[in-house]
Amino acid sequence: MEIKETLSNMKEDMINDILSLLEIESVAGEPFELMPEGKAVNEALERALEIGRRMGFQVRSLAGHSGYIEYGTGEEYVAVLGHLDIVPVGSDWTRDPHGEIVGDRIYGRGAIDDKGPMMAALYALKAIKEEGTALSRRIRLIFGTSEETGGPDIKNYLMTESQPAAGFTPDAEFPAINAEMGILIIKLTRELPDRNITIKGGSAVNMVPDRARAVISHDDGTETVIEEKGISAHGSTPHKGESAIWKLVGHLHEMKVPGHLRETKISGGLDETIGFINDYLCRDTDGSALGIDLADEASGKLVMNMGTLELKDGKLEIGLNIRYPVTYSGDDVLAKLEEKVKLNGFRMVVEHEDKPLYYPVDHELVSRLMDAYRETTGDLRGPLAIGGGTYAKEMKNIVAFGPMLPGREDVAHQADEYISVSDLMLCAEVYAKAMKALAE
């Protein structure tokens, strides 16, 4: 019996197991012994492992930080890395966030991120087991518990377990993602003498700010309030949004308020600082004004987003989210950036860096995943390069691979999150072929 037919016969069981996971609102909570992410996340982990145990696989929990379901023998193993924790349900749902089937869709928080695709991978593994194909590597499904909170689930896993020989994470989109840009989170700070103005814009450094506000207090007790609205977008694609901070800074740069935004530029003063922000941080999204506009063939141009800006009590803070091309290092960006901002009175602190992930398009891992995808779907497009970071960066020899098919709406973290049953079945077939190709 072919893999596709075997999976078709297991469809109802797969749907029921996904629903059993969706009913658990596995948001990180208060930690307990052997439950580092709280009781709800641990319940989801134990339920997933129980499903694997029921299927006859070897299962293990690693002190509640993660767990795995494994099939086969061999010194090396192939990994499918996913997570069972979810972001909060939020509001505005029209379907049950704890699992509901409507037509061809399975609704629920975690349906596509990552409970649904991890169950598709598990049933793909069951189909491989029933087929009885001889494998030279073990296949291990690893269930993380703190992907959404940036927790130490995989760091703890790697304290006792070896790195996989190859694998993928169903935590993004199809086809295979062979390049993920490096990410820098940077804070710029500067003390300013003028304490009669406050500015607040943006709420997250990795989002294009859709609100920004300035309040200027005058000597006569009156205030000038300036508010700007923009269009939010992810920090990896700022060109899709419209920055409210850019609008506000442009407004402040143009206006003249006696005693506050003076007609004459004053070294170290607010006018000069607003001018620098306007000229260097509000001109482009590729860093060209700052001289950090790096680019490569593998992943394209550097991407820069000014996500936050706050001026309060004479202290200015700016949050930058920079995604740099995969053939460069963070130092290639930081050296030029620090020189520019220091000349303009700012102090620069690197708060976080994610190194790039890059495999050439002809790398064996990428080629085998692409072959499995193309054989199943008939879609011949090439692998992807993205500005965002995925779970793949947590382990060696892993790339992101599905579950979202080309042309589908991105509903992860949104109200009415869902995955269609037809897409789920296609994912399971692709994953079965991919796991076999990597383990044979």
CA atoms within 13 A on the CB side of 15: 20
Query: What's phi and psi for 216, nearest 5 deg?
Result: -110, 120
Question: Position of tokens 């494994």?
Answer: 70
Query: What's phi and psi for 46, nearest 5 deg?
Result: -65, -35
Work out whether strand 166-169 and strand 398-401 pair parallel, antiparallel, or are unpaired.
parallel
**Measured in whole angstroms, how far is the alpha carbon of residue 85 from the centre of its chain?**
14
Q: Establish whether 85 is a catalytic residue.
A: yes
Q: Is the Cα dihedral 252, 254, 257, 261 positive or negative?
A: positive
Question: Position of tokens 């072959």?
Answer: 371
Name the token pair of 332.
Answer: 């290639």
Phi/psi class of residue 168: alpha, beta or left (left: φ > 0; alpha: ψ in -120 to 50)?
beta
Work out whether strand 77-83 and strand 138-144 pair parallel, antiparallel, or are unpaired.
parallel
Residue 39 CB-density burial (10 A; 0-12 exposed, 13-18 middle, 19+ buried): middle
Amino acid at site 384: L
Kindly provide the b/e burial profile for residues 148-174, where b requires at least 16 CB atoms within 10 angstroms of the residue's own CB.
Answer: beebbbbebbbeebeebbbbbbbbbbb
Question: Position of tokens 């943006």?
Answer: 202
Q: Which of these is catalytic: 25, 85, 286, 416? A: 85
- Round to whole Å and give the CA distance between 170 and 81: 7
Name the token pair of 348.
Answer: 């620069």
Length of the chain equals: 440
Q: Establish whether 147 is a catalytic residue.
A: yes
Q: Which of these is catalytic: 17, 70, 114, 147? A: 147
Question: Position of tokens 């793949």?
Answer: 392
Just list the catalytic residues: 85, 147
